[in-house]
Amino acid sequence: MEKNQYIVALEIGSSKIVGAIAEKTSAGYLSVKHLQEERHLNSVRYGIVQNVENIKSSVNRILKNLEGMVDGRITQVYMGVSGRSLHSIVSEVNRSVDSTEPITKELIDRIIHDATSTPIRNHDTVDIVPRAYYVDKVETMNPVGQFGSTIKIKVNLIVAKPSLKLNLNRLMTFGIPVKDYIVTPLAVAEQILSESDRELGCMLVDMGAETTTVTIYKNKALIYLCTLPLGGRNLTRDVMTGLNVIEETAENVKKNINNPLDPVNVSDVRIEGLNARDAANYISARTGEIIANINRQLADAGISSNDIQSIVLIGGSAHLGGLQQKIEDTIKVNVRKGQNPMGLNILNPEINRLEYIEVFSLLAKAAEMIEPGETCVELNKYVDGGPKFDGPVPAQNDEPTPVQESRTTKAKKSEKKKPWKSWADKLSRLMSEDDMSEDDQ
């Protein structure tokens, strides 16, 4: 009988770090009930880790807590990649081929690999996403098996500043390696957008604390990805500066205005000592700027709002009152909130929240990538009639696991220690020592 696989994913955001474990059965059923998060300020700026040591400590605590939840040892993790410098670049590769031989998958893979042969200044390629194939100048969905004399492949290179991935690597220096890096916005798009979304045209907008990532699909292909250095925290800071209050106060006021994007109709009341309408004026102005930048990405992608049928809105700042309607009114495209991946069963209602959509999408994507028989967690094993043992059960010739000494045993260090022949002997001795310790008290 095949054992269940465990998948561990980490998402490092500008306001919080989230780690989660999913369990995948041999039948492919995927579920999650264990999640840990830590909030932080200023250690990650615009999605890029600044204070490596602080975030490393948070990651270590999160993984240790997750280990306790599943009673096992995490051996590897899947890490999400996102941040300010993440964006797509279109690259084309043309190749003459033997028209008497069918085009193979191996040939396609080699051509796609050639697309990364030219270095991009000050950027590393994080992922490669095919966009379109042409055989003898005719576009095709799948060239494998076709015959032709020329083939052209257009791909999206997903690139970022070297520091983005480098600092993520620096977080994992305590013995748990990164199994693979997954581009977070692509994972989310794959897991929550429908096939018709990607075919008819869809813009996925992930509005976080300090960045907003725009991912655009058309004709079932990724055509554009860009990360804007603007997010919900910009709204908070405008209120801080304009009304001379601390960030916590400004954040609470922002969250407690029903629709801050319609300041004319905001009630003239005071929230935490501030006039709600005054705060709404600052919030509305900055949000208008962010929406204008989102709208501009359509032109940068070479399309217009007429080329997409929907906008899907996710991210912690997507819950701002009135934001969905404001985007819809500005861009003239239907807007809806994104939902957690359908293929992932969330067993714990306390974590079944849209704010975790990124890490849930990473788990679902990693579950597709993990090889049969692989796992990210080694469960602790038990010996019949004996105590818990952390890690694999020792072989016959292994040394016994050290056990904490009682006070009586410590007092008799000069006595020669006899090896335990079995777990039963070990348990018997432990019980007798505990009795002695109680008598000594």
What pLDDT does residue 244 have? Answer: 96
Q: Are residue 302 and residue 228 in the same domain, yes or no?
A: yes
Q: Are residue 244 and residue 332 in the same domain, yes or no?
A: yes
Q: Is 212 helix (H, G, I), strand (E, B) or coil?
A: strand
Q: Are residue 72 and residue 92 in the same domain, yes or no?
A: no
What pLDDT does residue 120 have? Answer: 85
**Residue 116 in domain:** yes
Q: Which long-range contacts (CB under 8 A, 24 or more apart) does 296-302 make?
A: 297/203, 297/214, 297/216, 297/224, 297/226, 297/228, 298/203, 298/216, 298/331, 300/224, 300/226, 301/216, 301/223, 301/224, 302/223, 302/224
Looking up tokens 């400004």 gives 250
Q: Are residue 172 and residue 242 in the same domain, yes or no?
A: no
Q: Are residue 398 and residue 423 in the same domain, yes or no?
A: yes
What pLDDT does residue 359 have? Answer: 97
On whether the CB atoms of residues 152 and 94 are closer than 8 A, the answer is yes
**Residue 265 in domain:** yes
On whether the CB atoms of residues 383 and 393 are closer than 8 A, the answer is yes
Q: Are residue 214 and residue 152 in the same domain, yes or no?
A: no
Q: What is the pTM of this model?
A: 0.83
Q: Are residue 137 and residue 274 in the same domain, yes or no?
A: no
What pLDDT does residue 385 have? Answer: 52
**Residue 91 in domain:** yes
**Residue 384 in domain:** no
Q: Are residue 51 and residue 183 in the same domain, yes or no?
A: yes
Count of domains for the chain = 4
Domain housing 329 = 195-337
**Residue 37 in domain:** yes
Q: Are residue 413 and residue 289 in the same domain, yes or no?
A: no
pLDDT along the chain (441 residues), means of 10: 88 94 95 95 85 93 96 96 93 91 92 81 91 93 93 94 90 90 97 96 96 96 96 95 95 93 92 94 97 97 96 94 96 96 94 95 97 94 57 38 42 41 42 42 41
**Residue 351 in domain:** yes
Q: Are residue 207 and residue 311 in the same domain, yes or no?
A: yes
CATH number at residue 355: 3.30.420.40
Tokens of 190: 């794959």
Q: Are residue 17 and residue 128 in the same domain, yes or no?
A: no
Q: Are residue 169 and residue 24 in the same domain, yes or no?
A: yes
